[in-house]
Amino acid sequence: MHYERSNKRAPTPPLCSRCAQSMELARITQRFDKLSELHTSGWAAAIQINFRENFGGVRPGRSASYAPVEGMNKKAIVKINDVGPLQPGRIIDFDERTMRYFDPTLQLGLIHQVKVTPLHGHNWIPGPIAQR
């Protein structure tokens, strides 16, 4: 006797609409979390220690502050998560991702005439701001 092997799977029982919605919501949430993580990794900066209070008193253990930064005809929202005694004349120190946005070659090392404005609240998404 000869038996043929079938590659067909047994049919999956249909999900109730509530279960299907929950599963879809979970998939969407996972996708959003991954995109959010990719988008927001980086985009951080340290502000000159003298400006600490202007940015909500940035300190370890506190929520970070956010600020739009303008320079080189570009704008980005950065997460202010550190302070430091920066070199004289500097008000902000970008992480590498932010610096690459303003200077893709990293040849300048310094962005002149940068404008930094504190934002209220903690629900900002750091990253480039589209130019109009």
Our count of domains for the chain comes to: 1
Q: What are the pLDDT digits (tens) for 92-102?
A: 999 999 999 99
- pLDDT of 79 strictly over 90: yes
Q: Please report, for the domain that includes residue 84, its CATH number.
A: 2.40.40
Q: Indicate whether 7 belongs to any domain.
A: no
Question: What is the DSSP track for the chain?
Answer: ---PPP-PPPPPPPPPHHHHHHHHHHHHHHHHHHHHHHHHSS-EEEEEGGGGGGGT---TTSPPEEEEEEETTEEEEEEEEEEE-PPTT--EEE-HHHHHHH-TT--S---SS-EE--BSSS----EE----
Q: Indicate whether 98 belongs to any domain.
A: yes
Q: Give 67 or 88, the one with higher predicted confidence.
A: 67
Whether this model's pTM surpasses 0.75: no
Domain that holds residue 64: 42-128
Q: Indicate whether 15 belongs to any domain.
A: no
Q: What are the pLDDT digits (tens) for 26-70?
A: 666 565 555 444 444 689 998 888 888 888 877 777 778 899 999
Q: Indicate whether 97 belongs to any domain.
A: yes
